[in-house]
Structure 1
Amino acid sequence: MKIFYFTATGNSLYVAKRIGGELYSIPQMIKEGKYEFEDEAIGFVFPCHGSGMARLVVNFIKKSQFKAKYFFAIMTYGGLSFSSLRHIERVGSEVGIKFNYTNEILMVDNFLPNFKMEDEIRKKDSEKIEEKLNNIINDIENRENMLITKGILSNILSKYGRRLADKLSDNYDKKFIVQDNCTGCRACEKVCPAQNIKVNGKPEFAHKCETCFACIHNCPQNAIHLKSEKSKARFINKNVKLKEIIDSNNQSNE
């Protein structure tokens, strides 16, 4: 079984690790130019980005060739998921993927304009997360067939939410503020999956942001902030280390 994942603050990586199999970071596959894959089962694990998938994930799937008897997709989300899983179903159908199983799991949301991290961490029940994750793992092991459906209104909201997110993403980094306590450690550059950051003393942004906020949450000095953030608190999944996120997303040749 092969699992392709995209992670910014560790939730999707943790879910992928728990499901098991061979793990493949989508940014690393793009870096290595690998786009042909085959296995008995192939899965995708990703966070909800603007009522769907981040553009980086979409482009990878569209460019790739996958061959398997069983396809599944698991989406992590923190607020309202609506019909966001339909996005990967639509994109998958363009390259010949017919999903057997889709599911979603409510976890801490790292989207700082909407959520206070202190509240998110406090409100999200770790026992419920583990219970849902165990159910998903059991379903996949048993090769269950089930697609999440939400209804027409939810479908419409997700469709237009995705369009809006695409329009806002590129220049979103103009809202980032780098404070004087930045040490130029380059952690932000290394965790950015979009090659959007180059550190020359301090981070410089290239305006091709995925709005994943990996740079903000993984900064060891808490030196990168948003003009509209709800709090200064940050989040990294407690089961994932910074090095794992760097290994997943680092696009340099180091």
Structure 2
Amino acid sequence: MNAKLFYFSGTGNSLAVTRKIAKKIEANSIYNMADSIETEVSEDIVGFIFPVYFQDVPEIVKDFINKIEFKSNPYIFGIATCNGGPGFTLFNLDKILKYKGQKLSSGFTLTMPGNSVIILDLTSNLELQKERLQNSKIKLQKMSEMIIKQLDAGIDGENKIKDRLEGFIIQFAATKIYRAHKKFTTNEKCVKCGICYKICPENNINVDKKVNWGNSCNLCLACFHWCPQNGIELGNSTKNRIRYHHPDIIINDMILR
């Protein structure tokens, strides 16, 4: 299969999905949108796999797609991994692609274990994690069959003003009012191992005498969930919260530098 897949992943959900899809459709290669310099597309099939952030496409994904140079008119599919509904995420992905002279042939939604601890704890418990991971295997098989046949499956979600407004309000509350990106701290478990620095997709973390976060955080929560010591907190209420990463993904899969 002449296919190229691009992914972005904070806790490993979207990376695991990408690997499974790549194997099923026999894709040529996969690239991490957080650090890839591969921006030329000449394949017959192209896929974008990423999580839903505030009912929208993550900024890091938007920026990457805007850099892509399409040398062909491929069948393009998107898979939005999420804890709830996709909102207008996939419709916005289609809009971004149309600016590039392309279109989203199929936009899929895949419910995966939740991992957000921004303001509210939306991390799935162990039982729900297991259930969602099992269900995702069945859905991925169906998606793969449609992708191989290059069928136009339409776009999941709703392209409604209320979804855009809801996403904006949540994002505004998280970043402007609660200022979540300013709430990261370390606790007594931190050993300054540097894992948080190595996995941050925005290169926003510095480890010296202490761990410091800059102003480029996209709230992917990779640092929080992947810290091997559970040494990172977000605000004052995450001390006893579950840390999560996809069971098929290891820390070396996530390291960027």
Q: Please say if 1:96 is aligned against 2:101.
A: yes
Residues 7 and 14 of structure 2 are in contact (CA less than 8 Å); yes or no, is this contact kept in structure 1? yes
Query: Residue in 1 aligned with 2:33?
Result: 26
Residues 6 and 57 of structure 1 are in contact (CA less than 8 Å); yes or no, is this contact kept in structure 2? yes
Aligned CA distance change for structure 1 residues 51 and 151 (closer, same or farther; 3 Å)? closer
Identity %: 27
Residues 85 and 157 of structure 2 are in contact (CA less than 8 Å); yes or no, is this contact kept in structure 1? no
AA in 2 matched with 1:243: N
Aligned CA distance change for structure 1 residues 151 and 73 (closer, same or farther; 3 Å)? closer
Q: Which moved more, 1:156-165 or 1:184-193?
A: 156-165
Query: Residue in 2 aligned with 1:10?
Result: 12
1:199-251 deviations in Å (ceiling 9; x for gaps): 113321111111100000000010101124494210010011110011xxx1x
Query: Residue in 2 aligned with 1:237?
Result: 246
1:103-125 deviations in Å (ceiling 9; x for gaps): 01000111113335352x32241
RMSD: 2.0
Aligned positions of 1:141-180 closer than 5 A: 141-151=148-158, 155-164=160-169, 167=172, 168-169=174-175, 171-180=179-188
Structure 1 residue 73: Cα displacement: 0.5
Query: Residue in 1 aligned with 2:205?
Result: 197
TM-score (norm 1): 0.88
TM-score (norm 2): 0.87
Q: Distance in 1 between matches of 2:143 and 2:105?
A: 13
Q: Distance in 1 between matches of 2:107 and 2:41?
A: 20
Aligned CA distance change for structure 1 residues 150 and 173 (closer, same or farther; 3 Å)? closer
Structure 1 residue 190: Cα displacement: 0.8
AA in 2 matched with 1:2: K
Aligned CA distance change for structure 1 residues 225 and 91 (closer, same or farther; 3 Å)? same
Aligned CA distance change for structure 1 residues 148 and 245 (closer, same or farther; 3 Å)? same
Q: Distance in 2 between matches of 1:166 and 1:36?
A: 32
Q: Distance in 2 between matches of 1:151 and 1:48?
A: 13
Residues 188 and 218 of structure 1 are in contact (CA less than 8 Å); yes or no, is this contact kept in structure 2? yes
Structure 1 residue 42: Cα displacement: 0.7
Query: Residue in 2 aligned with 1:105?
Result: 110
Structure 1 residue 40: Cα displacement: 1.0
1:119-177 deviations in Å (ceiling 9; x for gaps): 2x32241321111111111111121111224446xx22332244346655485321112
Where in structure 1 do 4 or more consecutive aligned residues deviate above 6 Å? none
Please point out which of 122, 127, 130 is paired with 2:127: 122
| Structure with bigger RCO (C-alpha 8 Å, 6+ apart) | 1
Any gaps of 5 or more consecutive residues in structure 1?
none
Aligned CA distance change for structure 1 residues 116 and 69 (closer, same or farther; 3 Å)? closer
